[in-house]
Amino acid sequence: MGLLDELKQRVLIADGAMGTLLYSHGVDRCFEELNLSKPEDIVHIHEAYIAAGADVIQTNTYGANYVKLARYGLQDEVPAINRAAVRLARQAANGRAYVLGTIGGLRTLNKSAVPLDEVKRTFREQLFVLLAEGVDGVLLETYYDLEELETVLAIARKETDLPVIAHVSLHEVGVLQDGTPLADALARLEALGADVVGLNCRLGPYYMLQSLEEVPLPTRAFLSAYPNASLPDYRDGRLVYETNAEYFEETAKAFRDQGVRLLGGCCGTTPNHIEAMARALQDRTPVTEKTVKRRAVPVSVQSDIPSSATPLPELVRARRSVIVELDPPKKLGIDKFLAGAKALHDAGIDALTLADNSLATPRISNAAVAAIIKERLGVRPLVHITCRDRNLIGLQSHLMGLHTLGITDVLAITGDPSKIGDFPGATSVYDLSSFDLIRLIRQFNEGLSYSGKPLGQKTNFSIGAAFNPNVRHLDKAVERMEKKIQCGAHYFLTQPVYSEEKIMAVHEATKHLNAPIYIGIMPLVSARNAEFLHHEVPGITLSDDIRARMAACGDDPVRAAREGIAIAKALIDAAFDLFHGIYFITPFLRYDMTVELVRYIHEKEAAAKERKVVHG
């Protein structure tokens, strides 16, 4: 009788954690490598779980893939480690238990850290070894990213007719990290051909049972659950799980009542936990009906955003729009900054953009400055958010804070790495890429946190994204724009452009896109400034002609500023009829230069309207 035939008739008990037992015995290195160097230890653990009552065990191959083994310099040992793992599990089982070949997920928070092509390649390498060694089925476990799990499940289903178990992992009760309800995710996995669907890791029995309450019995597949022992505690540099085995005995029947047919354990569980569950379920009769709870998600729409605050992407579609970047000061004291913000506001800008520690140099918090100019001056702030300085917790807290302050315009960017700034030894976080950050903000607009937990309100962010046209292959940069639009970007701000030909090229390359673009223009203040930007600032390129014009000004600051403004005005002229949006970057708090350029835009606009009336 095969695994699926048995699951049709009764609840099966699976094993628990492998790493927990090894860790408890002082092993603090690559657990999968022990298949080669300490095979007797692995066999002993398998045998302990079978003796405890496990009908199903899994190979010690959770992290036995190229990506994870490369961290230990073991990437060339993928075949050997996986082959040994199956043989050890089969030796221990000796016909008494089914052996599942385990493959763990690669992606965590930053989806971009492991592209799908790498996921596929790594997965196939491991899968083919496990199948060749004769496992009884395949267990896909600890997948936080549904896209990754659907991708590898499709591969597994194409390559084998053996049973495939597909497990997602949750940060929050009942929802995946992208906001997908657990019931929907499991239905999608069943539709892709998974024979058993369920969840493992992260949650203990209490919250895992809560999550399963909202999941109906699958039409064809079976349900499974491998809960953690508890939330881990951190003591004396080690992770400790507290939950005792008796608690698992108490909850085992509740899992059976939720329709679970394959019940095991994950982090923190031991043979004692498995023995307790097997004891509680001596009657292995499965349930065939259950009552599904429907949990309403309490989300309300933000109601205190003034109706007059037209979102920037709508505004720039309707008329000419000018926004200006004015960096918060590097030193304490904001009087000069506020004077510049007021002058720009009086000149008629639509928003003041505030960089987030540009060039990895610490400045006064742009969120604090944004709140001040909004309250005191009535200036609309556009706050830049980088992935560099905050981890996933900090990013979400920051977004909630901006929403609470009524600041709805944000620009999601990766951020310059710390090594180019004033503190090159500082850590660059990069939990998320700019694509992931855009997705996160879009999810906030749907009323859900990164983990899918309801926020209580929907945010109302207009999501700006960066576009660097100063590249050799403009088509590749446009492809990144298209991907950002798919992630949720509403409009774009470009890096400073210093070529009229580049402006026309950008127009041609992006005219098929519906997302508005603000063309970036930054006036030059000196020849030295021009050379620094050209040679040392990522994403900025100046033409030889412009560098020569600035060099001709010598050390005369007045003449250099005039020339810089003249160059900027020529760029405005080139962009005027091609783009509704202009994005000025103010150099060195020289807001007087930016004010002149803003007025130049408005004068051109007024002249154009007058000509239209005359020739009407």
Distance CA 412, CA 417 (A): 15
Distance CA 371, CA 379 (A): 9
Q: What is the DSSP letter of 71?
A: G
What backbone phi and psi angles, to 5 degrees, belong to 615? Answer: -95, 5
Q: Reduced to 3 states, what is the DSSP secondary structure of residue 577? A: coil
Entry field: residues in the chain: 616
Query: Is 30 annotated for ligand binding?
Result: no
CB atoms within 10 A of CB 503: 22
What backbone phi and psi angles, to 5 degrees, belong to 311? Answer: -55, 140
Query: Is 267 annotated for ligand binding?
Result: yes
User: What crossing angle do the helices spanning 205-212 and 245-257 adopt, rounded to 10°?
Assistant: 0
Distance set, CA 314 to CA 173, 517, 582, 595 (Å): 37, 12, 15, 24
Q: DSSP secondary structure string, 341-353? A: HHHHHHHT-SEEE
**CA atoms within 13 Å, Cβ hemisphere of 558:** 0
Q: DSSP secondary structure string, 104-136? A: E---SS-GGGS-HHHHHHHHHHHHHHHHHTT-S
Phi-psi region of 437 (alpha: psi -120 to 50; beta: other; left: phi over 0): alpha
Nearest CA to 550 out of 523, 526, 520, 580 is that of 526
Strands 517-521 and 491-496: parallel
Distance CA 62, CA 103 (A): 5
What value, to the nearest 5°, has the Cα angle with vertex 554 and ends 553 and 556? 75
CB atoms within 10 A of CB 582: 25
Phi-psi region of 245 (alpha: psi -120 to 50; beta: other; left: phi over 0): alpha
Handedness of CA 70, 73, 77, 83 (dihedral sign): negative
What value, to the nearest 5°, has the Cα angle with vertex 483 and ends 477 and 123? 110
Phi-psi region of 560 (alpha: psi -120 to 50; beta: other; left: phi over 0): alpha
Q: How far is CA 406 from the centre of its chain?
A: 24
What backbone phi and psi angles, to 5 degrees, belong to 582? Answer: -120, 135
Helix/strand number for the chain, H first, E second: 23, 20
- Known binding-site positions: 201, 266-267
- Known binding-site positions for Zn(2+): 201, 266-267
